[in-house]
Amino acid sequence: MFKIKTIKLAGLLLVTFTALLFINIKIVSAQEKPTLNRAVLLENTVELPGNNVNAKVIRVTFPPAFKTPRHTHEGPGPRYVVKGKLKVVEGGKTNTYSVGDVFWESGHLMSVENMGEDSAELIIFELTPAK
């Protein structure tokens, strides 16, 4: 009778240990899998003059201490700072943006200045009426 209880207890321990081992393997496996991280960085409602839109993605590299003359772009859109620190003057407002920052450019008269000692990079997403 003692042997039967010992065998049953040993079997129960073996089953419990095996179950815990598999649970632990699943937890470790789940932790090792990369997950998708999605975040909205900027959202803005846009009214365009027509149904057809020309969308451009433009990379601009600014040399150290470079400042653009006052200018406009063909259309509005989000801008994403890839590298460096930029001072943007647009519509009478001045803002400074750094790596990872996203801002909305309206298409009004503006200037951009690289505030860093190294080059800066900006990705422009421009929305214009299709030609």
Q: What is the pLDDT of residues 12-68, one digit of tens each?
A: 445 555 555 566 555 555 567 787 787 888 888 877 767 788 889 999 999 999 999
Which amino acid is it at 44? N
Tell me how long the chain is: 131
Contact assessment for residue 25 and residue 84, using Cβ atoms and an 8 Å cutoff: no
Q: Which is more confident, 113 or 16?
A: 113
Instruction: Return the bridge partners of 110, or none.
Output: 71, 90
Contact assessment for residue 61 and residue 121, using Cβ atoms and an 8 Å cutoff: yes
